Amino acid sequence: MSPRSASVNEELRRRSKERLLQAAVELVGERGFEATTLGDIADQAGSARGLVSYYFPGKRQLVQSAVHRLMHRTLEEALEGEPRTEDGRERMARAIDAILGLARDRPVLMRQHMAGLLQAEGFVPCPEQRRLAELLRDTVARLGSRDVDSDYPMLRALLMGAVYAALVPGVPMPVPVLRAELFKRYQLDWELGLPPETEASGGRSDRDLSRFFATGAARQCGPTGQPK
């Protein structure tokens, strides 16, 4: 048997990382962060335990990268979905609905993610997080911002605050109320984006996450947090 080519090996490594990211999102979304071990994630992904440590320095970094992947792919899908549009107000509405939708549809996962951001590491410097930032910055720019460097952090803070408010145990705020406040701030009509009352039952909150973790569709985090 002839040895595998470098390109084949690279493809196999990429697929392994994709499976680990997807497994992390699925298991943490079901069990929570503390109840999910790296061994569980490796088993779910069909990977050797050593591969997890090779690609990611720890569970927190793996899970945060996985959630940022889900977030940026969800946002990308919302922004570029049909009907396609370049209208800044519609794109801002879609962005808000995409992020609030994750809080509504995947509360365990997003609650664990928000808690992780409050740890000492904060944001993991990862291509997944940077891609999410790029999409949000572009959304602000298309809305007509004259100072994206100031308006992007404000949008990020408002979205994070809304997600937190939607997930506080015992006293969560309803997503439609949070949506209304964000739409008011950005002067968006309620009919833009995907209003809650128009969402089809079971629509994009389906359990199949494979489309967000397709092999080779996006860059990954290496052991140092840099693009591979």
- Rounded Cα gap, residues 22 and 101, in angstroms: 19
What is the model's pLDDT at position 9?
62
Q: What's the pLDDT band for 7 if we cut at 50, 70, 90?
A: low
pLDDT digits (tens, 9 = 90+) for 75-114: 999 999 999 999 999 999 999 999 999 999 999 999 999 9
Structure tokens at 43: 């088993």
- In terms of Cα–Cα distance, which of 18, 112, 100 is closest to 66? 18
Q: What is the reported pLDDT for 183? A: 98
Are 186 and 92 contacting, i.e. CB atoms less than 8 angstroms apart?
A: yes
Residue in the structure block whose two tokens are 């298309």: 142
pLDDT at site 220: 38
Rounded to whole angstroms, the Cα distance separating 20 from 216 reads: 14
Average pLDDT over residues 18-29: 93
CB of 91 closer than 8 Å to CB of 142: yes
Tokens of residue 209, six digits: 């996450």
Does the pLDDT value for residue 180 go beyond 60? yes
pLDDT at 222: 36
Confidence bin at 197 (pLDDT 50/70/90)? confident
Cβ pair 18, 213 in contact under 8 A:
yes
CB crowding 169-208: b at 16 or more within 10 Å, else e: eeebeebeebbeebbeebebeeebbbeeeeeeeeebeeee
Which one-letter DSSP state was computed for residue 52? Answer: H
Residue 15, amino acid: R
Write the DSSP string, 61-126. HHHHHHHHHHHHHHHHHHHHSSSP---HHHHHHHHHHHHHHHHHH-HHHHHHHHHHHTSTT-S---
Average pLDDT value for the chain: 85
Determine phi and psi for 73, rounding to 5 degrees.
-70, -35
Q: Tens of pLDDT along 54-84?
A: 888 889 989 999 999 999 999 999 999 999 9
pLDDT band at 52 (very low <50, low <70, confident <90, very high): confident
Percent of the chain scoring above 70 in pLDDT: 83
Amino acid at 150: S
Is it true that the peptide bond before 3 is cis, omega within 30 degrees of 0? no
Which of 44-58, 118-132, 179-193 is most confident? 179-193
* CA Rg value for the chain: 18
**What pLDDT does residue 35 have?**
95
What pLDDT, on the 0 to 100 scale, is given for residue 224?
A: 33
pTM: 0.84
Question: Do the beta carbons of residue 225 and residue 124 sit within 8 Å?
Answer: yes
Give the model confidence (pLDDT) of 133-177 as tens digits.
Answer: 999 999 999 999 999 999 999 999 999 999 999 999 999 999 999
221 strand-pairing partners: 227
At 90 the pLDDT is: 98
Higher pLDDT, 154 or 217: 154
